[in-house]
Every structure is written in structure tokens, then in C-alpha cells.
Chain A
Amino acid sequence: MSRARAHPFAGTVRLRARELLRRPVVAAALLIQSAVLIAVDLVDVLGRGGGDEGRDLVLLGLRVVAAPGGLVFGVLAAAVVGSEFTWSTERALLARDPRRGRFVRLQLVVTATLALAWWAVQSLFAIGLGFALQLQAGPDPAEAWSWAVTGRALAAVLAVTLVYGLVGAACAIAARGALAGVVAVLAYGLLGELGLAPLWHPVDDWTLWTAATRLAGVGGLAVGRSLLVVAGVGVIALSASFTFYAGREITR
């Protein structure tokens, strides 16, 4: 009787994950995001006084992990997926198994796995740091802590991180390169969502950044619309990845 074999992606993703741990770009992205988190929390703590009790630092940290953290992760995802093109490893994989859809699925699974790890590490760091600083600066963390609110924020951060990752992967797949993918996702995030969208209010309500901020507990956008935006951008990113890659020809 033959032994049931694991899905080929299981081992492939494990090896990719091992490789990612050795890449400076991953460590750099983690450090940048952590530094932003520390800075935001410290600014809040140092700005307190005169009756201002400040905000819940745990929730504040999670909001930072959602946005700008999501965008930082999107850039990382573009760099990771784009390296398949830069190193031409795409060619070796497709020469073995030419199914373009399977290749895209692998990239998206790697991105989702990385998103999960990013979310876990960054959320844990945000909660730990917020809790520790709150112990020092008040208010009483036991009073401020709410499982329901924190749980919702954590779920929002996970969804936003995943969708920004999918956007990054889609940019790398469409642009077929790490650098081009990073530029594309930065153009989308910085220029599109933060630069141009605020100039026209109706559009500003439909950006991933605004939705991420709202879902993490800030701003006035309806939760339903925020969920719709996050889900919609995710579906568009997924569709774009498969569509752009379906006719891919390997010329180098």
C-alpha cells in the first residue's frame, strides 16, 4: 500500500521559507517596521501629560502594523516574488512543470505564508511593546485590555497584511522583476493611496490604506465598506496575478 504523499507545495514552501530567513531584505523590512512601531509608541508616551492619558498602546501598535505595516509588507512580498524573475528560477521551475497557474499558486502560497509569519511576529511585538510601555505610562493595562477589540484588530491586521502582500506579489508578477515590482507597489501605495487619493474624497474612502486604518479602529469609514475594499483589492490582486501570467513566455 502506498504511503500518502504530502502536497508538493508543502516542502517547496518550507524550503522557500528557510531561504527567506537568510535574505537581508526580510530582516531589513522587519527592522524598519519595528522601528516605526517603537517610534509611534514612544511619541505617544512622551506626548502625554496635562490630563492627556494617551491612547491604548496595544491598539495603536496594531494599527501601525496594519498601515503602514501592510504597505511595508507589500514591498517585501514584491521583492520576494520578484526574485524568481531576477534569478531566473522561474525558468527552471517552468521547464520542469510548465503550468503557469501552478507557478502563480506557488508564489501566492509563499506570500500568504510569509504574511502569516509577518503578522504573527509584528502583532506579538506590537502587543508586547504596547503592554510594556503602558505598564510604565498608564492607563492601567488591565482596565484597557479588551479581548474583543484586540481580537478584531488582530483579524483586521491579518487581512490587511495578506491583501497588501497579494498586491505586492501581483505587482512583481505583472512587472516581472523584483525592482520593478517594488517600484510598482510603492507607486500604488505612496503615490496612489497616500498622494493622489486624498485629493478626491470619494476615492479616498475606497483605498486599502483607509480601509486598513478603519478596520484597525481609526477613522469614520463604515466597517462594511472597509471589508468590501479589502476583499475587493484581494480579488483584483489574485485575478491580476493569474491573468498577467497566463500567457507568460520565458525569453531569458
Chain B
Amino acid sequence: MLRRGWLVAKGTALAAAVELKGVHRRLGRSPALDGLDLRVEERQLYGLIGPNGAGKTTTLRIALGLLRPDRGEVRLLGADPRSGDHGRGQRVGSLVDGPALSPRLTGREQLALMARWSGSQSSEVERVIRLLGLGRMTEQPISTYSSGMRQILAIAAAMIGPPDLLVLDEPTVGLDPGHRRRVDDLLVEHVRGGGTVVLSSHQLDDAERLCTRVGLMADGRLVEEGAPAELGPAAGRYEVTVDDPEAALRALRAARLICWHDHGKVVVETGRADQLDRPDGSAIARILAEAEIFPSDLRRSPTLELAYAQLTGGDLARV
């Protein structure tokens, strides 16, 4: 399905799908990107997280060749992002800054237009309509669509190719829960199939669940990067729900684990990501079972929310 033969032929398999080195860019008087270094490997589902004005959309625009950096180097699938070589039209699908559609076309015509422009087969139109379950709505003029319908159509247009790389800015904004789940599943399938996804999102729970790697942005820079479970102060924490928290605390402390009671749950600190032999969820469950304590729930603490709160100075309203 994916056309990465030319990359393999050049001996650069698993190269960076997106690479920005020391990128500076001003928009107006203020710097939007301030020496950004970002590398997204192929076959990653990479999430860019950050408050409004952090530079996420500018990063995606520069990666796609819509904007030029003032300084720094940018590569997209190993090539200049402003070049149309190597089947760029087919290989990179994107949705940046919301849907951009011709209101007088029907949904199907809009998809056909994108297929033609990108040099894709016309059969791609039917494929993405089936993939996203768009059905009869594609026969209606886009001017009659709701904002959610426009969003899902724009995602379908991005998936025409099929592309090796998907660059999506807030892809699930305005979608109903059904379409949101469908898009999430498609992104995961895309990466399992050998593709790459770069997305920006304000949906921290989605990013934590979906992304294989997350970059936290602030003031035009990447301030922290890693697997979602390893980011921020909550990395390596587990939350345990038990009937008797005090008994659980005693058992865990006896096993030399750092833990405390927080809002009816027992929070267990298992250590940093790079720490060897740190206990995981099953080890915690075993320790508790030996003390005849059986948790009704045991899960990793959500990490991104706390990491994000730290990034924004605790002001989640900046999301």
C-alpha cells in the first residue's frame, strides 16, 4: 500500500518522516518558532501538544511547505517540503487550520478534486468514503454541511492517496463521538500499516491513548518529548482503587514503594522511565494480592494532563 521503495533504495529506510532543525520563524513582530528541533520517525503516531500560541500550527505549516522558516532546516520524507518530487501529492495528506472546501461542490466532487490534484487513482474516492463511512452525505453540496461534516470530509480528503504521512491539526475537533472513535482507530491502523501520523491536539486523553510519542511545545520550542506514559511528574505513577486504602498503603510501603492516599485512591510512584527494575502494574497487583487486598481498579495515572499543567503553570484553561 505504501510507496516507500525509493527510500529503501537510497538506504534511508526508517528515516525521519518530518525533521526540523533549529527552525526560527517570526509571524508579525513576535517569534512563532524559536529554534525548534523536531524529529518524527517513520511509523510513529506523534502528537504535538501545547497551549494556544505555542507554535504547533506554524510547525505543521512549515513542515508542509506552506510557510518558509526564517532560519533552520526542514525535511519532509527526506525532501524539501516545497518540492513536488517523489510523488509528494500522493504521499502526504494533511488537514491544517480547519477544513478548506469549495462550498458549491458535493462531498464526492471535493474528494475527486483532491484525488485529481494529488495524482491519485479515482478509486481512492470510493475507498475513503467507505473508510470513514461517509455514505450519502457525499452527494450533498458542501454548503449544506455542518462543521462536523466538513471536518470529517476534510479528513477523508487527507486520506486520499493513500498517503505515507498524515499531518493533522486538531483532527477530531467538532466530531461526534462515533466519528471521533473512527478517526482515532484509522490513525492507529495507518501507523500499524507502516504509515506515519503527526497531529496537534488539545485532547490530552486522546493524545495519551493514541500517540506513540508526544512533544510538548511552549513559546515556539519543544520543551519535553517522549512516550506519553513517560512525560511529566506523573510518569511512572499508578492509581489503585481499594476498599481499605490504609491497608494497601501499609503493604506497598512494606515493599519499599513510595505511595500516598489521594482522593480515595492510592497513588504509587514507581520511578522514572529510565530506572531499571521499576515495578509495573502487575507487580503492584501481586504485592497487594499477597496482603489479600484485591483492587477494584488499577491503572497508570494520566500523565499528559499533569505535564501540560506544569507547562502552562497550572492553567489548564490555556489548553
Closest to A16 in B: B113
User: Quick one: which of A87-138 are within 8 Å of B by CB?
Assistant: 87-99, 102, 106
B81-104 CB contact bits vs A (8 Å, 1 = yes)?
111100011001110110011111
Considering residues A22, A23, A90, which has the most beta carbons from chain B within 10 angstroms of its beta carbon?
A22
CB of A15 closer than 8 Å to a CB of B: yes
- Of the candidate stretches B6-14, B39-47, B60-68, B302-310, the one touching chain A is B60-68
CA distance A23 to B93 in the complex (A): 28
B84–A102 CB distance below 8 A:
yes
A8–B117 CB distance below 8 A:
yes
B83–A89 CB distance below 8 A:
no
A91–B118 CB distance below 8 A:
no
Closest to B82 in A: A98
Residues of B within 8 A of A251 (CB): 27, 61, 67
CB of B231 closer than 8 Å to a CB of A: no
B113–A12 CB distance below 8 A:
yes
CB of A250 closer than 8 Å to a CB of B: yes
Partner of B68, one of A22, A88, A249: A249
User: Quick one: which of A1-46 are within 8 Å of B by CB?
Assistant: 8-12, 15-16, 18-19, 22-23
A95–B113 CB distance below 8 A:
no
CB of A201 closer than 8 Å to a CB of B: no
CA distance A19 to B167 in the complex (A): 28
Question: With A12-B113, A94-B66, A97-B89 in contact, do A87 and B119 touch (Cβ < 8 Å)?
Answer: no
A15–B116 CB distance below 8 A:
yes
Residues of A within 8 A of B77 (CB): none
A91–B112 CB distance below 8 A:
no
B96–A95 CB distance below 8 A:
yes
Partner of A87, one of B27, B93, B100, B118: B100
B104–A23 CB distance below 8 A:
yes
Q: Which A residues fall within an 8 A CB radius of B? A: 8-12, 15-16, 18-19, 22-23, 83, 87-99, 102, 106, 247, 249-252
Min distance, Cβ B91 to any Cβ of chain A, angstroms: 10
A249–B113 CB distance below 8 A:
no
User: Quick one: which of B45-67 are within 8 Å of A by CB?
Assistant: 61, 64-67
User: Quick one: which of B124-178 are within 8 Å of A by CB?
Assistant: 141, 154, 157, 167
A22–B104 CB distance below 8 A:
yes
A89–B100 CB distance below 8 A:
yes
Partner of A92, one of B81, B83, B114, B167: B114
Partner of A91, one of B92, B97, B117: B97
B84–A99 CB distance below 8 A:
yes
Residues of B within 8 A of A93 (CB): 117
B104–A96 CB distance below 8 A:
no
A96–B93 CB distance below 8 A:
yes
Question: With A8-B117, A15-B112 in contact, do A98 and B104 touch (Cβ < 8 Å)?
Answer: no
Query: Can you name 20 A-B residue pairings with CB atoms under 8 Å?
Result: A8-B117, A8-B119, A10-B116, A15-B112, A15-B116, A91-B66, A91-B100, A92-B100, A92-B101, A94-B66, A95-B65, A95-B94, A96-B92, A96-B118, A97-B118, A98-B64, A98-B66, A98-B82, A247-B68, A250-B67
CB of B109 closer than 8 Å to a CB of A: yes
CA distance A215 to B180 in the complex (A): 61
CA distance A11 to B118 in the complex (A): 11
Residues of B within 8 A of A91 (CB): 66, 96-97, 100
B27–A95 CB distance below 8 A:
no
Please name 13 further chain A to chain B contacts, defined as beta carbons within 8 Å, in addition to the given A96-B118, A97-B117, A98-B83, sorted by A numbering.
A10-B116, A11-B113, A12-B116, A15-B116, A16-B113, A87-B102, A89-B100, A92-B157, A95-B65, A96-B114, A98-B64, A98-B65, A98-B81
B65-80 CB contact bits vs A (8 Å, 1 = yes)?
1111000000000000
CA distance A8 to B67 in the complex (A): 25
Residues of A within 8 A of B157 (CB): 92
Question: With A22-B104, A249-B67 in contact, do A11 and B109 touch (Cβ < 8 Å)?
Answer: no
CB of B293 closer than 8 Å to a CB of A: no
Min distance, Cβ B85 to any Cβ of chain A, angstroms: 9
B66–A95 CB distance below 8 A:
yes
CA distance A251 to B61 in the complex (A): 8
Considering residues B96, B100, B154, which has the most beta carbons from chain A within 10 angstroms of its beta carbon?
B100
CA distance A99 to B66 in the complex (A): 10
Partner of A98, one of B84, B102, B109: B84
Min distance, Cβ A204 to any Cβ of chain B, angstroms: 40
Question: Top 7 nearest A-B pairs by Cβ distance?
Answer: A98-B65, A11-B116, A250-B66, A88-B100, A92-B100, A99-B84, A97-B89
Residues of A within 8 A of B15 (CB): none
CB of B105 closer than 8 Å to a CB of A: yes
User: Quick one: which of B269-317 are within 8 Å of A by CB?
Assistant: none
A87–B103 CB distance below 8 A:
yes
Min distance, Cβ A47 to any Cβ of chain B, angstroms: 42
CA distance A252 to B96 in the complex (A): 10
Residues of A within 8 A of B67 (CB): 249-251
Question: With A19-B104, A96-B89, A98-B81 in contact, do A8 and B66 touch (Cβ < 8 Å)?
Answer: no
Residues of B within 8 A of A16 (CB): 113
